[in-house]
Structure 1
Amino acid sequence: MLFAALPCRIAILHVSVRPMRRMLLLPAVALFLCTPPGVEQHASAQSSERIVVAPPTALTQRPRTGTVSSPFFAGTVTAAGGEARIEFKIDYSNATIYNPETNKNDPVRLRSYRDLHETAAPAIPFVAPTIEVAPGETVRVTLKNDLPSSDASCPASLPDINVPHCFNRTNLHAHGLWVSPTGNSDNVLLSIAPSVSFEYEYNISIEHPAGTFWYHPHLHGSTALQVSSGMAGFLIVRGSRLPSVQTGGDVDTLLKGADGLPFTERLVLLQQIQYACRDASGAVQETATGKYVCQPGQVGEIEGYDQFGPTTWPKSGRFTTIDGQVAPVFTGAQVGRIERWRIAHAGVRDTVQLQFKRMRPGAPDFASLDPTQQLNWIEQNCIGARLPQFGFASDGLTRAKISERDTTVLQPGYREDLLMVFPEAGDYCVLDDMAGPSGTVNATTKIRKFLARVNVAMGQAVGADAKAFLQAELISAANRTMPETIRQKVRDDLANDMGLFSFVPHPDVADSEVKGRQTLQLKIDVSSGLKFFVDGKAYDATRIDRTLPLGSVEEWTLTSGISPPVGHPFHIHVNPFQIVKILDSGGNDVSSAGESNDPQYANLKGVWKDTLFVKPGYQVVIRTRYRRYIGDFVLHCHILDHEDQGMMQNVRIAVPNGAGGVLTNHH
């Protein structure tokens, strides 16, 4: 009896999980936490309490009756054409973040999104509630800014808009949603001051793709500071549309088990919360080796842009969090049970190269080791070949074919939907692999990091070929779920290298459609101080940099400056784009096979996205349609401190005038 020999206590955890293919809200769970001899009590508490807990679901009111065909929705929901109401407040929240450097919890005070009518403070308040909606719904999000009105960063007059400022003002961006950018829709040109409430209204088209999206603040001058504080959450559009001979459907309708329920789902929110403590002079407090440090009694905060920059994240000693926790444990997995991992990179300052490996049986707890031992732990305990990952959607948009890989590269703003199959019982390492400078947002060599552990129980045998197992399971799912008129096509596509052609939300952009061309360069200028430019200019709120005709289709060529050689993730609002080709510095198209020393561009040809990393010296060619919506919005670098300091443009989509131009007024 192992536990009988250990000092134990009972901890009450309120857990939200998604086992057995549906989301369940469980009552409080009692855990027996036992401390091995020689280990302090706080270390045991860390290990036991750092179980991955799915972000809370936003409290949503749907005043009309009806149903949406998805078991994930809780309670009464509205049918297409109905309304979903959500009310958030923004305020400071006090919590803790586990610090492997000290094997203790660091107290932090961070800005956060919270449900306005929550009955109890969440355990992890800097992971925002998940918004779940359906195509055809009108989604109303009330945002109440409860941050302090006293704000030294917000002077009455600002000489340069590209100097970070007004850290307590905010707004809301529905990243990746295909909705209007104007009025009280996805309008990032609004500013919501402290004590002000504002209601956003997203009219989600009945044609809107189902998929994984996210939301975060987007007020120029404070975006990076607020997002890095943890102000980010999933925005999931859940679909129930079956494909037909004439129209595509939602891949959600296919991804179901023999019991008719959706595959087990994991929401994985990746964040870099770069909190720091400051000394008496206001400088970030560091150890002799340059790592951030908080003394007993101090509280970590994010209150200045000296906490950002290409060297600050690696030297800070902070770890990428998963759903708000450092080095946590995923529980509930079973051998042979297909899981859907919805992953969003909601961080600001690191590139994540996601990998899975078997963990050596009997490996010591990573969190119980000192920093020097942690560096060697991965090599000693994460063993064997990398597990295959099966990517079927990028930035929320279903791919034409499932992409098999052993590494998924996530830049800030990216989302990836993976199907995972664990082949044997035991523990698995979730890793962030090393990478060279040209492929990372910090433009520095990154070391391998441990992100999490997956605990896998016995289950259905998989065999030696995970791809063949998954392929057979999906074909079986098609037999059960697809209409008879389309069933054979879906089966044939899956049998032919796991095609998903009946679920792609946008048709390919043909050469004959292209009506115009755009070029764009993202660049840091060091010739006259540190400046952040798009096409040689810093952001000007009064300037419209591009005017684009509604209904047109254009091809864009994107580049990043080579002096200094820094890459940038390009992001544009409203309309997604399709990748045509990615040319390396030698003119070779690497969008299919990728590169031997960098996996991030492999299998991207023809894929639809809304954010894409542009390596220095490369040319990225994309095509996009300007559909449905007019108005002013932005494109920018999704290294958000770059955006706050000027690497952004205003874009306008306008109604054509019938003579080759666009209307410039209403008459």
Structure 2
Amino acid sequence: MLISIIALYVLATSGAGYATSSCSNTSPCRAFADGRPFREPVSYWSRYGNLEMTLVADISDISIDWLKLKRRTFNGRLDAPTWKVKPGDRVAVTVQNRLGPNPANQTGHNTLHSPNTTNIHVHGLHISPEGNADNVFVEIGPGQTFKYEYNIPSNHPGGTYWYHPHFHGSGAFQVMGGMSGLIIIQDDPHDWRIPYELRSVSCPYSCEHDIEMLMQPSLQYSSVAVPVVYGQLQFETGDDPLFLNQETVSSSGETLADWLNNETNGVNYFTVNGDLRPKLTFETGQMKRMRLANAGGAHALELEVKGVNHAHRCLVREIAVDGIYLDAPRLPRTGQTLVLPGGRVDWMIRCDYPGTYQILSTPKPENNPSMGTFDRFGGVLATIDVQGLSQWTKLNFPTFLPPRPNFMQDLRWANPEEAEKFVLEMSPSNSLNREFLPEDVSDRIRYKMHLNKLQEWTFVNTGTVLLHPMHIHVNHFQVVSYNKYTGPVSIFEEIPSQGEGEEEPQFVERLVDQQGQHCQYQWEGYNADITVSNSTQLPPEVNTTLGHEIRYYTGPGMIAYSEIGEWRETIAVPPLSNITVRFIPTDFTGKVVIHCHNSAHADRGMFLLAEIVEEGASTAGARVASNGAFPGTCHPGDWYPGVDTSLPSTSVSSTTSIMTSQPTTTMMMMPRLDFYSWMYRFYPQSVVHLNNYSTYFYYYSLYNQWLFSQSD
């Protein structure tokens, strides 16, 4: 995969810039003209504390050089308008849906469907999730209009955010197609806590140095972008033939859609503000601020700036992540900046030598220990032409950055005994906490938390190769620690043949412990009636993947690790990892959406609901366990905060009581086990000796004694 990406990157860059007017949809060319002057999206500014606007979701004709496409857009462009607002503003957005009827062959819940139903999510904003605010359960069907109203808190942190559709079933498809825009909450330029160096490159007074870059996967057609390719999503969603690029290519007789999807043609590009590899012009030694947003659905960006035909580099410092300022500017930890799907990073950048530079995403093998097999885009995003003599007086990087609001106080040293706790578990089948999002979510709140109460959440990933970018709505969270992973491992076992005639082997996902013994607590989709062995050999990548708590400090491959202490709303959860985060939910009650920001995973059900309730309100009724299995557990007695898992799970209840030490496993008061399950739980090293009759008899006698004790 990586070699293919690099090969296509070379093809794309070597062929850039010389497409001719002879190319067309019926006579396509592998090269696209690029390098048009950089332009920013249209901006809508708030005035006197208010911003009112209309977003029209409609079918638009989009041209990228010779390629003519029909795309769903907001207000007719791939880059929808940027909202420029201030803390305390009221923002009213009327969304008109003119996309036309949905296809007749709707495939239903947790599938890609309803491509012409839409809505809006204000990604990263600390906003109410209820009513006509950031409510992602609003459905704006074809021909319908809906008015959103957002009241931005007066203490909201200034930063870079974005908005995009979030209707369950079509969110990924619409984002991949280009329905997204930026939101910039501006700092108060008169606030003495804003350093001069930052004020000098930021709006509202220095907008010429404040650069917005909405990076969208608008031309990800090539099969090298699997598993999420725009053309594939079109067919899976049942898109209207109007969009499917069915023109016949004159030279080969294939359709344009087939030509675009063909890996050898290399049509795998991100656009920036709707343009392909635009060209920025900087003065030598001039400081700039760049707001970089990955408005993609599935691919991470590993960003860096490199000189073209020269060894000079621009000076780059990260100053904000996911809209929240760092304590001070920092060098990218690995020489690259990782921007996850949905993520944003702000740079301050200065190029001290004239010449041409490229902003590019480069997947590097040394990043694999933390990235796993997560898909990463490889290619040039934009070029920078640095001109003129070096300035005598250069603006330096600030030594500090604006403070965060009080509701983002440092929680690393908070007393964990005062926290309400929750575990969020990912799997390679794209379930969350061992279930997919149910069609009726009214009785599937998976966790309840109190307003203004410290939360300590643990993210765990049972998969052995795939990272998941997890996103939480409403409140940012602080990264506290990377911990040793001791939980279950998801494997895929081949189902024994049921007879002749099976063309391909069939596999089932199953949870095992780290000795290969099958977990008694399985996931919702596991079929216990399938005959498989009671243990398995762990895949070889398990041993090489474990150890994130060490590699965080020593490397190699640290790019996916968030720095401890920073605030995020989307975090990379590497395979077989355990990460602790903390936050205090403030200001807003209501349902909180948590999902993977590989948007196709979310649309297929990797999505759950929590709820913030008032202080002192009951947290009863949350479905924390899935059919008796708590996230992160494998066997009876495994640790889950506030729960004795050696006992059978009773009702669904919230876990707001605190257990600070891990419960010890006991043979007493456990669910009834068959002999082999009992052996795997208590004497796993002796299972291999059970073919010896005397050994078998000895342990079977112990098993009967245990059964007798259970009946007392």
- Same fold judged by TM-score > 0.5? yes
Q: 1:48 to 1:315 in 2, by over 3 A?
A: closer
Provide the secondary structure at the position in 1 that maps to 2:428: strand
Provide the secondary structure at the position in 2 that maps to 1:643: helix
Q: How far apart are residue 415 of structure 1 and its match?
A: 0.3
Aligned: 1:574 with 2:486? no
Q: How does 1:398-437 map to 2 (within 5 A)?
A: 398-405=325-332, 406-436=335-365
Q: How far apart are residue 242 of structure 1 and its match?
A: 5.1
From 337, 357, 373, the counterpart of 1:443: 373
User: What letter corresponds to residue 291 of structure 2 in structure 1?
Assistant: R
**In percent, how many aligned pairs have the same letter?**
26
The separation in 1 between residues aligned to 2:481 and 2:151, in whole angstroms, is: 33
Q: 1:519 to 1:600 in 2, by over 3 A?
A: same
From 275, 298, 311, the counterpart of 1:349: 298
Q: 1:445 to 1:397 in 2, by over 3 A?
A: closer
From 215, 218, 224, the counterpart of 2:166: 218
From 327, 330, 341, the counterpart of 2:280: 330
Contact kept in structure 1, 2:299 and 2:374, CA below 8 Å: no
Query: Could you tell me which residue of structure 2 aligns to residue 508 of structure 1?
Result: 410
Query: Could you tell me which residue of structure 1 aligns to residue 681 of structure 2?
Result: none
**TM-score (norm: length of structure 2):** 0.65
Q: How far apart are residue 273 of structure 1 and its match?
A: 2.1
Q: Deviations over 1:578-625 (max 9, x none)?
A: 11123472253555x5733343326x1111111111110122211111
**TM-score (norm: length of structure 1):** 0.69
Q: In structure 2, list runs of 5 or more residues that go unmatched.
A: 1-16, 24-28, 222-229, 238-244, 485-545, 623-652, 654-712
Q: Deviations over 1:131-183 (max 9, x none)?
A: 1111111100000111112423547xx4xx11221111111000000010000
User: What letter corresponds to residue 401 of structure 1 in structure 2?
Assistant: A
Q: How far apart are residue 445 of structure 1 and its match?
A: 7.5
Contact kept in structure 2, 1:242 and 1:253, CA below 8 Å: no
Q: How far apart are residue 314 of structure 1 and its match?
A: 11
Query: Could you tell me which residue of structure 2 aligns to residue 256 of structure 1?
Result: 200
Q: Deviations over 1:343-376 (max 9, x none)?
A: 000011211111111112xxxxxxxxxxxxxxxx
Q: How does 1:225-304 map to 2 (within 5 A)?
A: 225-240=173-188, 249=193, 254-256=198-200, 261=206, 264-274=209-219, 295-296=248-249
User: What letter corresponds to residue 557 of structure 2 in structure 1?
Assistant: N
User: What letter corresponds to residue 456 of structure 2 in structure 1?
Assistant: E
Provide the secondary structure at the position in 2 that maps to 1:634: strand
Query: Could you tell me which residue of structure 1 aligns to residue 664 of structure 2?
Result: none
Contact kept in structure 2, 1:399 and 1:504, CA below 8 Å: no
User: What letter corresponds to residue 621 of structure 1 in structure 2?
Assistant: T
Q: Deviations over 1:84-108 (max 9, x none)?
A: 101111011111234xxxxxx2111
Of stretches 453-462 and 257-266 in structure 1, the one that deviates more from structure 2 is 257-266
Q: How far apart are residue 427 of structure 1 and its match?
A: 0.8
The separation in 1 between residues aligned to 2:481 and 2:247, in whole angstroms, is: 47
Q: 1:316 to 1:219 in 2, by over 3 A?
A: farther
User: What letter corresponds to residue 170 of structure 1 in structure 2?
Assistant: T
From 183, 205, 228, the counterpart of 2:153: 205
Contact kept in structure 2, 1:269 and 1:345, CA below 8 Å: yes
The separation in 2 between residues aligned to 1:314 and 1:661, in whole angstroms, is: 56
Query: Could you tell me which residue of structure 1 aligns to residue 557 of structure 2?
Result: 597
From 268, 278, 284, the counterpart of 1:318: 268
Q: 1:520 to 1:38 in 2, by over 3 A?
A: closer
Contact kept in structure 2, 1:522 and 1:568, CA below 8 Å: yes
How much is the aligned-residue C-alpha RMSD, in angstroms?
A: 3.8
Aligned: 1:393 with 2:320? yes
Provide the secondary structure at the position in 1 that maps to 2:166: coil
Contact kept in structure 2, 1:275 and 1:301, CA below 8 Å: no
The separation in 2 between residues aligned to 1:229 and 1:404, in whole angstroms, is: 33
Q: How does 1:486-565 map to 2 (within 5 A)?
A: 494=399, 499-500=400-401, 502=403, 506-509=408-411, 510-512=413-415, 514-525=418-429, 532-540=430-438, 541-542=441-442, 543-563=444-464, 565=465
Q: In structure 1, list runs of 5 or more residues that go unmatched.
A: 1-36, 63-76, 99-104, 115-120, 285-291, 361-382, 464-468, 475-493, 526-531
From 447, 452, 455, the counterpart of 2:382: 452
Q: How far apart are residue 40 of structure 1 and its match?
A: 4.3
Contact kept in structure 2, 1:431 and 1:450, CA below 8 Å: yes
User: What letter corresponds to residue 512 of structure 1 in structure 2?
Assistant: N
Contact kept in structure 2, 1:172 and 1:216, CA below 8 Å: yes
Q: 1:399 to 1:192 in 2, by over 3 A?
A: same
Instruction: Tell me how many residue pairs correspond in the alignment.
Output: 510
Q: 1:242 to 1:319 in 2, by over 3 A?
A: same
Contact kept in structure 2, 1:252 and 1:262, CA below 8 Å: no
Q: 1:315 to 1:662 in 2, by over 3 A?
A: farther
Q: How far apart are residue 633 of structure 1 and its match?
A: 2.6
Contact kept in structure 2, 1:438 and 1:616, CA below 8 Å: no
Bigger Rg over Cα? 2
Q: How far apart are residue 214 of structure 1 and its match?
A: 0.2
